């Protein structure tokens, strides 16, 4: 049953991604990172080291992906600030995983929620605009 549910979730995510704007993909990545961080923290608090490592590893991969998506040439100061925040988050997740600390996970969740909240407030008419199209 669990395998069927996981397969269904994967198909659902894959179908959402195939129809998603770049803006929506970033929203999904941020939500996914937050979810994995919450799961990783819960596993840590329960002493489930394997699940903790797997979930925090996935969250780390997502944050690294978000960082690599930044357009430093077009993004200016905002991209530079996000780059510094993503670097900080990468270090915090790594420290939390290595040292079994939950406070750095909370810090990263808070930062991601704040960034996602701002991202979510961008009006729909701007979701597909690129520098070339502006």
Residue 10 in this model has a pLDDT that exceeds 70: no
Instruction: Tell me if the pTM is above 0.85.
Output: no
pLDDT of residue 126: 73
133 in a domain, yes or no? no
Inside any domain, residue 134: no
Gap between the Cα atoms of 134 and 129, Å rounded: 6
In a domain, 109, yes or no: yes
Residue 54 lies in a domain: yes
Query: pLDDT digits over 58-96, tens only?
Result: 999 999 999 998 988 888 999 999 999 999 999 999 999
> Which domain, by its residues, includes 75?
22-118
Q: What is the pLDDT of residues 14-38, one digit of tens each?
A: 555 555 688 889 999 999 999 999 9
Q: Structurally, how many domains does the chain consist of?
A: 1
> Are residues 67 and 87 in contact, defined by beta-carbon separation less than 8 angstroms?
yes
Please state, in angstroms and as integers, the Cα–Cα distance from residue 82 to each residue in 60, 68, 70, 78, following that order: 15, 11, 8, 6
In a domain, 4, yes or no: no
The verdict on residue 2 lying in a domain is: no
């Amino acid at each position: 049953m669990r395998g069927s549910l996981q397969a269904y979730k994967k198909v659902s995510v894959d179908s959402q991604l195939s129809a998603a704007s770049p803006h929506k993909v970033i929203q999904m990545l941020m939500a996914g990172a937050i979810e994995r961080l919450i799961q990783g923290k819960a596993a840590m608090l329960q002493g489930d080291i394997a699940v903790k490592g797997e979930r925090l590893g996935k969250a780390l991969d997502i944050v690294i992906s978000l960082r690599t998506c930044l357009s430093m040439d077009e993004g200016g100061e905002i991209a530079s600030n996000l780059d510094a925040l993503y670097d900080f988050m990468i270090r915090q997740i790594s420290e939390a995983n290595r040292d079994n600390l939950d406070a750095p996970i909370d810090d990263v969740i808070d930062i991601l929620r704040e960034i996602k909240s701002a991202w979510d407030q961008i009006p729909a008419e701007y979701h597909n605009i690129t520098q070339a199209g502006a």
